[in-house]
């Protein structure tokens, strides 16, 4: 059956996601803030447990839900731009304040380790206990509703599934040059500088060389530093060098 779209209809696709990430500034992050899986503390936060408080508190202003650095109430790390329950997961999108020193340090660490994690801070409102004798997961606290106060970027979360799966980071040509030398695509930094400029000006040629689906939408680094892109351009590097000499 053919779908007939009307003006104004929203068409969801991978391109929409890619374009959304592309227009964001460095420090844009997203991931999972909470799931209903039993966490390491014996808590099970049900899906939608924070929906009421998110609607009530909002994401901005004095009473808005804050994005913090490791649950430190004195260290706001950025703005939460989106916080909503999708399926069983509470998904978060936010923008880090990279002009704040402790946030910049957090951002650098997150990039270098390939992403950190999230953790929620809230007040209990509706809850119950499940006896360990009646559950294969042992005794745990079921949180049916809570007043969400903050979401933190943390190193080790109580909920292992609360992971950061995207960090927007625009790498510089200088970093590309280092990657080309380190990957033995070029013999010297001078040669890498020439090739980097060529790659930058002709990025579309190398994107065409990728196999379908090879490039991930949620790429944390600039496409030119994608490992698969560097491999894909290996066969073309010799031709590029010859053209530049």
| pLDDT given at position 18 | 45
Last residue of a domain, which of 127, 148, 167? Answer: 167
Q: Is the pLDDT of residue 44 over 90?
A: yes
pLDDT band, residue 133 (cuts 50/70/90) = low
Residue 3 inside a domain? The answer is no
CB atoms < 10 A from the CB of 232, how many?
Answer: 19
| Angle, CA 88 vertex, CA 115 and CA 149 arms, to 5° | 65
Q: In the chain, which ranges are continuous DSSP H helix?
A: 14-22, 51-57, 101-112, 173-182, 189-201, 203-207, 227-232, 234-244
Q: Let me know whether 30 and 129 are in one domain.
A: yes
Residue 75 inside a domain? The answer is yes
| pLDDT given at position 239 | 58
| For range 217-244, the mean pLDDT | 49
Residue 230 inside a domain? The answer is yes
Residue 194 inside a domain? The answer is yes
Higher confidence at residue 162 or residue 241?
162
Q: Let me know whether 60 and 143 are in one domain.
A: yes
Reduced to 3 states (helix: H, G, I; strand: E, B; else coil), residue 90 is strand
CA distance 179 to 199: 13
Q: Is the pLDDT of residue 224 over 70?
A: no
Q: Let me know whether 89 and 161 are in one domain.
A: yes
| Structural domain for 203, as ranges | 173-244
Last residue of a domain, which of 129, 146, 167? Answer: 167
pLDDT tens digit string along 80-105?
999 999 999 999 999 999 999 999 99
Q: Let me know whether 181 and 221 are in one domain.
A: yes
Per-residue buried b or exposed e for 10-26, using 16+ beta carbons within 10 Å of the residue's own CB = eeeeeeeeeeebeeeee
Q: Let me know whether 151 and 189 are in one domain.
A: no
pLDDT tens digit string along 186-212?
778 778 777 777 776 666 565 544 444
Q: Let me know whether 34 and 78 are in one domain.
A: yes
Residues forming a β-bridge with 130: 140
Last residue of a domain, which of 115, 137, 167? Answer: 167
Query: What global pTM score does this model have?
Result: 0.64
- Provide the domain count of the chain: 2
| pLDDT given at position 125 | 97
Residue 4 inside a domain? The answer is no
Q: Let me know whether 151 and 237 are in one domain.
A: no
| pLDDT given at position 219 | 40
Q: Let me know whether 190 and 111 are in one domain.
A: no
Residue 148 inside a domain? The answer is yes
CA distance 90 to 78: 18
Residue 2 inside a domain? The answer is no
| pLDDT given at position 130 | 86
Residue 133 DSSP symbol: G
Q: Let me know whether 43 and 101 are in one domain.
A: yes
Q: Let me know whether 49 and 148 are in one domain.
A: yes
Q: Is the pLDDT of residue 62 over 70?
A: yes
Residue 107 inside a domain? The answer is yes
Question: Quick one: tokens of 42?
Answer: 């014996």
Residue 163 DSSP symbol: B
Q: Let me know whether 141 and 29 are in one domain.
A: yes
pLDDT band, residue 60 (cuts 50/70/90) = very high
Q: Is the pLDDT of residue 25 over 80?
A: yes
Q: Let me know whether 43 and 126 are in one domain.
A: yes
């Amino acid at each position: 059956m053919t779908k007939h779209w009307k003006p104004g209809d929203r068409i969801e696709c991978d391109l929409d996601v890619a374009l959304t990430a592309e227009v964001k500034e460095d420090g844009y992050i997203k991931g999972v803030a909470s799931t209903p899986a039993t966490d390491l503390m014996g808590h099970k936060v049900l899906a939608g447990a924070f929906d009421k408080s998110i609607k009530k508190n909002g994401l901005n202003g004095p009473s808005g839900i804050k994005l913090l650095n490791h649950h430190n109430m004195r260290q706001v790390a950025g703005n939460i731009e989106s916080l909503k329950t999708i399926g069983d997961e509470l998904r978060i999108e936010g923008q880090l304040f990279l002009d704040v020193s402790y946030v910049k340090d957090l951002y650098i660490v997150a990039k270098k380790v390939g992403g950190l994690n999230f953790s929620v801070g809230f007040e209990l409102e509706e809850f119950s206990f499940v006896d360990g004798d009646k559950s294969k997961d042992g005794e745990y606290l079921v949180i049916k509703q809570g007043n969400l106060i903050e979401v933190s970027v943390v190193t080790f979360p109580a909920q292992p599934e609360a992971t950061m799966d995207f960090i927007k980071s625009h790498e510089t040509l200088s970093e590309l040059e280092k990657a080309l030398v380190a990957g033995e695509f070029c013999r010297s930094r001078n040669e890498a500088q020439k090739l980097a400029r060529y790659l930058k000006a002709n990025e579309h040629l190398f994107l065409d060389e990728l196999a379908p689906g090879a490039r991930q939408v949620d790429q944390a680094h600039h496409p030119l530093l994608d490992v698969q892109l560097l491999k894909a351009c290996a066969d073309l590097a010799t031709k590029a060098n010859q053209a530049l000499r």
